[in-house]
Structures are given as C-alpha cells and as structure tokens.
Amino acid sequence: LRPVAALWISAAVFGVIHLISSGGQQNALEHVLYLAVPFGFAVAGGALMIVLDSLWAAVGVHTGVHVGGLIGLGFGLGSGPAYWVTTGLVWTAIGLVLLAIAKRQGKLDGIWTGPTR
C-alpha cells in the first residue's frame, strides 16, 4: 500500500483493538470515545516512523503515551471522555503535521519500503 493508506488502516485497526481495553470506561459510548486516544497516537507514531525511518519512533510514542498518562493521573489531570477525545485529537493533529513533513521530504512519493536502517 501507499504509506498514507497503510498508516490510516493500521491506525484504525490499532484503535479498534483497544475496544477491549479497560481505561476507566463506564459504558459502550465511553468505550468508543476511548478509541480516540489509541487511534490518535497510532497516527502520530506511524507518521513519525515514516519521517524517521524507524519503528522505534512508534514504539517510543506508544510507551510515552502510557507513561505520560500515568504521570498525568499522578498530577490530578484525571481521565474520562473529554480527556480521551481531546488527547486523541491532539495526537491526530501531531500525526498530520508529521505527515506534512514526510510529504515535504518526499517520503510519501511512491511505495514506502519501510525503514532503511
């Protein structure tokens, strides 16, 4: 697939896998709203992987989200639907900026062959 199509498909699949996550959701709607977080950081991680040609970038984003969430809870930032949607939108926006950078670098032209290192 082209890199952008592969990114959106993998982010959607990664997000849906998190339907079974237990992140404090109380009902079916909250389970769906919670998906904004894994979808958003999957977009950002995947775009960062394309920009840096490294799977470790995506691993770092994934780890950072979990560690950052724990730190945020420790500082009383809380959790819940508004937090999940806001966080997901921010991560998605970061991913879109990274995709724009990848486009400018020519990394979205043709078929992406994966990390070169």
Q: Express each pLDDT in 61-109 by its tens digit.
A: 889 888 988 888 888 877 889 988 999 999 999 999 999 999 999 888 8
State the Cα torsion 20-56-102-115 to the nearest 10°: -110
Q: Express each pLDDT in 13-32 by its tens digit.
A: 999 998 888 777 889 999 89
What letter represents residue 63's amino acid?
T
What letter represents residue 59's amino acid?
V
Question: Which residues have C-beta within 8 Å of that of residue 116, sequence separation ≥ 6?
Answer: 53
State the Cα torsion 86-108-12-52 to the nearest 10°: -70
Positive or negative torsion for Cα 95, 100, 103, 104: negative
Which has more pLDDT, 35 or 112? 35
